[in-house]
Amino acid sequence: MTPTDFEKLFNTYYMQVYSFAMTLVKNAADAEEITQQTFFKALSHKDKYRREAGEFTWLCSIAKNLAADEYRRRSKRGMYPEEDIASSSDIQADAEKKDTALRIHMILHDLKEPYKEVFGLRVFGELSYAEIGGIFGKTDVWARVTYHRAKLMIRERIDEDEHKRKI
């Protein structure tokens, strides 16, 4: 990979890798750091890229591993990432959206892997089933089925919660 090739890779995938990192860490500064580390690691280990998966899938795998490493480091130190809260002019609508989003995130937090991550990659990372399958070393059909099952699990929990609220 020549410097020109790497520059093209960086320019092509930077925002996608950053968006993917944001879905993992939910913090702009941390996502920026992971994105930078991802491209640094890709450049440093370009000889290990076997081209079995697409470039974007390869970069997401690196980012996923870096995010997991950072999470483990922070867990050992007892640190948790801060979340950025955006302001809104329509406070009531924003509160309702946040309540719904919070409920979904709480349900998602309790889901087992790989359902949690596949759902997050598809919904928040806006990745295709083929890209998700590539990250896990599986097929796009596996990603589609796993996403569908995660969606059903979330729907069931939402329905259970609604039923409990009515009682």
pTM greater than 0.75: no
Q: Is the pLDDT of residue 129 over 70?
A: yes
Structural domains present in the chain? 1-82 (1.10.1740.10), 90-167 (1.10.10.10)
- The upper half-sphere exposure of residue 2, i.e. CA atoms within 13 Å in the direction of its Cβ, equals 3
Of the candidates 144, 140, 149, the one whose C-alpha atom is nearest the C-alpha of residue 113 is 149
Confidence at residue 69, expressed as pLDDT on a 0 to 100 scale: 85
Confidence at residue 84, expressed as pLDDT on a 0 to 100 scale: 38
Q: Is the pLDDT of residue 167 over 70?
A: no
Measured CA to CA, the distance from residue 88 to residue 39 in angstroms comes to 34
What is the token pair recorded at 59?
A: 């970069």
% of the chain with per-residue pLDDT over 70: 75
Q: Among 91-95, 124-128, 154-158, which is the least confidently predicted range?
A: 91-95
Measured CA to CA, the distance from residue 70 to residue 77 in angstroms comes to 11
Query: Do 35 and 17 form a contact (C-beta atoms < 8 A)?
Result: yes
pLDDT tens, residue by residue, 131-151: 899 999 999 999 999 999 988
Measured CA to CA, the distance from residue 83 to residue 48 in angstroms comes to 35
Per the listing, tokens 């990979």 go with 1
Amino acid at 8: K
Q: Is the dihedral of CA 14, 16, 22, 25 positive or negative?
A: negative
pLDDT tens, residue by residue, 75-115: 776 654 444 334 334 444 545 555 666 777 778 778 888 88
Confidence at residue 96, expressed as pLDDT on a 0 to 100 scale: 54
Peptide bond into 81 cis (omega under 30): no
